[in-house]
A and B are shown apart, each in its own frame.
Chain A
Amino acid sequence: MSNISEAMQAAVGTVTGRTTSYPISESDIRKWALAVYWPGQPPAMFIDPAAAAKTVHGGIVAPEEFNPFAWIAPAHEAFIKNAGKLENNNPDNPEIALGMSGPGLKFQLNGGMSVEYGVRMRAGDVITSESSVGEYSEREGRLGLMLFSRGISTWTNQKGEMVKRTTGTLIRY
Chain B
Amino acid sequence: MTVNVGDVIPTFVRETGFANWNRYAAVNDEFVPIHMDDAAGEAAGNGGAFGMGNLQWAYLHNMLRAFVGENGEILGMEVQFRSPNVKGQTLTAHGVVTGIEGDVISLEIWTDTQDGLKLAPGSATVRMGK
A interface residues, Cβ below 8 angstroms from B? 31-32, 34-39, 43, 45, 55-56, 63-65, 67, 70-71, 89, 107, 109-117, 143, 169
Known contacts A31-B27, A35-B26, A143-B45; is A112 also within 8 Å of B80 by CB?
A: yes
* Neighbour of B58 across the interface among A36, A114, A116, A117, CB < 8 A: A36
B65 interface residue, CB < 8 Å from A?
A: yes
Asked if residues B78 and A110 are in contact (CB atoms below 8 Å), the reply is no
* Size bracket, chain B contacts: 35 or more
Asked if residues A35 and B23 are in contact (CB atoms below 8 Å), the reply is yes
Name the A residues within 8 Å of B61 (CB-CB): 36, 63-65
Asked if residues B70 and A115 are in contact (CB atoms below 8 Å), the reply is no
In chain B between 88 and 106, which residues have their CB closer than 8 angstroms to a CB of chain A?
Answer: none
A-B contact count (CB 8 A): 90
Flag the segment in B1-9, B47-55, B110-118 that touches A.
B47-55
What is the interface of chain B mostly: helix, strand, loop, or mixed? mixed
Extra inter-chain contacts (15) besides given A56-B129, A67-B28, CB under 8 Å: A35-B23, A36-B27, A36-B55, A36-B61, A45-B70, A55-B71, A70-B28, A89-B32, A109-B81, A111-B81, A112-B53, A112-B78, A113-B53, A117-B73, A143-B45
7 A-B pairs with least C-beta separation: A110-B53, A114-B78, A112-B80, A36-B58, A35-B23, A70-B29, A56-B71
Could you pull out 16 A-B pairs where Cβ atoms are within 8 angstroms?
A: A35-B26, A35-B27, A35-B28, A36-B62, A39-B19, A45-B70, A56-B130, A63-B61, A64-B74, A65-B57, A70-B28, A112-B80, A112-B81, A115-B77, A116-B75, A117-B74
Asked if residues A65 and B71 are in contact (CB atoms below 8 Å), the reply is no
Name the A residues within 8 Å of B122 (CB-CB): 112
- A143 CB to closest chain B CB (Å) equals 5
